[in-house]
Amino acid sequence: MVRTHTLHAPLLLLLCSVAASHQSLALNVRSYPSSTTDSKTPVALSLARNVNATGSRNVLKLDQARAQAFRARARGPNQIPSNAAAFNDEATGRVVTYTVNVAVGNPPTSYNLLIDTGSSNTWVGAASLDLFHPSCQPTKDIVAVSYGSGSFIGLEKLCEVTLAEGLTIPEQSVGVAAISKGFNGVDGILGIGPVDLTQGTLVLESEKEVPTVTDYAQKLGLLTEYIVGISFEPLNQDNETNGELTFGGVNHSKYNGTLNYAPLTKVSPASKYVGIDQKITYGEGQPVMPSGSGILDTGTTLILLATDAFDKYKNYTGAQLDNDTGLLRITPEQYANLKSLQFTIGGVSYELTQNAQIWPRTLNAAMGGDPEGIYLIVNDLGQISGSGLDFIDGMGFLERFYMVYDVGNSRAGLATTPFTYATTN
């Protein structure tokens, strides 16, 4: 097992010394100051899609490493297998990432942060060392998080955080990195997953949770509703602003028809995350996954299925494994015959169309593929079903549906969008 804070023992001693020097000034990370924001209207943040033209041949390996980290983290903080930690290129290795600009401090410094529903700590400093940010107040603690394909260790601070005009959170707990691996090109992470995931990330107070930005804004009365709405779109051009994150409500213009909710799963380890129960069929009801528990995750690129379900899908499609990319590849004739996948969640069926199942062909070269090839975004999770983590519905799924994480009611919402049936891939 690799623990972030044992990987950097000399740094840990230094950080302990720094934290101790600030201890008399430290504030409890659970203190709740008065709100400085009057409006409780839902606040929307624009998300930028960043396309890495040089890409990576490790798209599948990065996703599988993240899946391993999910399983390990459910057993305890920072319990990341060594083979997962080998892929230290979370941001630089991914072909497509979604980021948001967040202002930290007063006067503010703008940071470009990855959006992550699969983790809950918010931290900055991957691009520059700023341990002594003058406008942030020290706490007595050190924070360390491993992600499977990246990690960071630093000091926990209390900072004013502005997510967007109309939503400023005073004294939000934020990690300030001293060392990070795997986050070149971004400044850190905006973690919006369940707060339980933060337990154990504070090195000196491992039983304490760190309030997420969503939780803390709710505690301060800044949100109309205790929810986060998430909108993505399939690729149509490079480096565009085409997503949206809404705190305190949903953007009804981003989806069609009814927004349907399903309770979060109670099956572990999926229950530790934004987890749901679902079944999957192919074409005219051919079973892929009769039932299973898994995760909706903005940090996973592909749709990963338990090995037995993946094998069924592979057989139905006639696809062959492509050694260059690790993805399934089909011929133009097989694509013409490719049937929709039906994801049944909370009794409602969501159709992943023929076009939605393939990798964007404009990005084939970026992930080491044949520019003229047709690759599938459904792949192997690396473990058979029944483990409690049977699937991860990553960005290949979420770019076709509007998602809501209803924290207060422990449920997830999904709806079709104008892009559910798009043919942009």
**Could you say which DSSP state residue 84 is in?**
H
In this prediction, residue 131 has a pLDDT band, given cuts at 50, 70 and 90, of low
pLDDT digits (tens, 9 = 90+) for 341-373: 999 999 999 999 999 999 999 889 888 899 999
Six-digit token pair at 183?
């986050």
What 3-state class would DSSP assign to 185? coil
In this prediction, residue 137 has a pLDDT band, given cuts at 50, 70 and 90, of very high
| DSSP code per residue over 137-176 | EEEEEEEEEE-SS-EEEEEEEEEEEEEETTEEEEEEEEEE
pLDDT digits (tens, 9 = 90+) for 187-202: 999 999 999 999 999 9
pLDDT at residue 9, as a whole number: 52
Long-range contacts of 263-270 (CB under 8 A, 24+ apart): 263/346, 263/410, 263/411, 264/410, 264/411, 264/412, 265/293, 265/294, 267/293, 267/388, 268/74, 268/388, 269/70, 269/71, 269/74, 269/75, 269/388, 269/389, 270/294, 270/295, 270/388, 270/389, 270/390
Mean pLDDT of the chain, nearest integer: 86
* Amino acid at site 207: E
Answer yes or no: are the C-beta atoms of 294 and 389 closer than 8 Å: yes
What does the alpha-carbon distance between residue 359 and residue 3 come to, in Å, rounded to a whole number?
Answer: 34
Catalytic residue set: 116, 297
pLDDT at residue 24, as a whole number: 41
The pTM assigned to this predicted structure is: 0.88
Is residue 12 over pLDDT 70? no
More confident residue, 89 or 21: 21
What does the alpha-carbon distance between residue 321 and residue 317 come to, in Å, rounded to a whole number?
Answer: 12
Is residue 173 over pLDDT 70? yes
Average the pLDDT over each of 91-100, 336-345, 350-359 and give the range with the smallest value: 91-100
Is residue 328 over pLDDT 80? yes
Share of the chain above pLDDT 70, in %: 82
pLDDT digits (tens, 9 = 90+) for 371-422: 999 999 999 999 999 999 999 999 999 999 999 999 999 999 999 999 999 9
In this prediction, residue 30 has a pLDDT band, given cuts at 50, 70 and 90, of very low
pLDDT digits (tens, 9 = 90+) for 34-76: 444 445 789 999 888 877 655 566 889 889 999 999 998 877 6
Sign of torsion over alpha carbons 74, 75, 76, 79: negative
In this prediction, residue 240 has a pLDDT band, given cuts at 50, 70 and 90, of low
pLDDT digits (tens, 9 = 90+) for 289-319: 999 999 999 999 999 999 999 999 999 999 9
In this prediction, residue 142 has a pLDDT band, given cuts at 50, 70 and 90, of very high
pLDDT at residue 3, as a whole number: 36
Domains assigned to the chain: 4-29+41-229 (2.40.70.10), 254-416 (2.40.70.10)
